[in-house]
Amino acid sequence: MALVKLYNGDGDERAQRSQERIHRSMGMVPETYQAMGRTGAFLDAVLNLSQAAGDNLEAKTKELIAIAVSAANGCDYCVVAHRALALKQGATEEEVSGALEVAAMMSAFNTFNKAIGLENDVTPEALGLAVEA
């Protein structure tokens, strides 16, 4: 149950138009976009950010990253949604599991390294890589 009002076609006119586009694209308006649907200015800003972020990545890769980050952040809604979107983009269940494994591994390393305060020693320079300015 949502903790906020869900606006499904009853936000301002701009939000209604955006939700109509989402519905045409997905066949539904996910609750996250309903929760953001009070005002089209906010909903469109979020949608634009979503489109712009990682626009140099393949859609499947972007969805697998979204799964891993969502898992690390503890957002079940986002893990489930991005798993479905990744599968729609051609990801396999093995790739989804791999993304979740990477999230778990990084969470363990992040926690350990933050706890002991290590210096940043694995850098492009330390590995002999040229770095663009």
Domains of the chain, residue spans: 7-52, 56-117
- Tens of each residue's pLDDT in the chain, 133 residues: 889 999 999 999 999 999 999 999 999 999 999 999 999 999 999 999 999 999 999 999 999 999 999 999 999 999 999 999 999 999 999 999 999 999 999 999 999 999 999 999 999 999 999 988 7
Tell me, what's the pLDDT at 55?
Answer: 97
Residue 36 DSSP symbol: T
Instruction: Classify 4 as helix, strand or coil.
Output: coil
Tell the residue number behind the tokens 């350990």, with chain if given. 112
Q: Which two tokens stand for residue 32?
A: 């996250």
Q: Yes or no: is domain 56-117 CATH 1.20.1290.10?
A: yes
> Residue 2 in contact with residue 31, Cβ under 8 Å?
yes
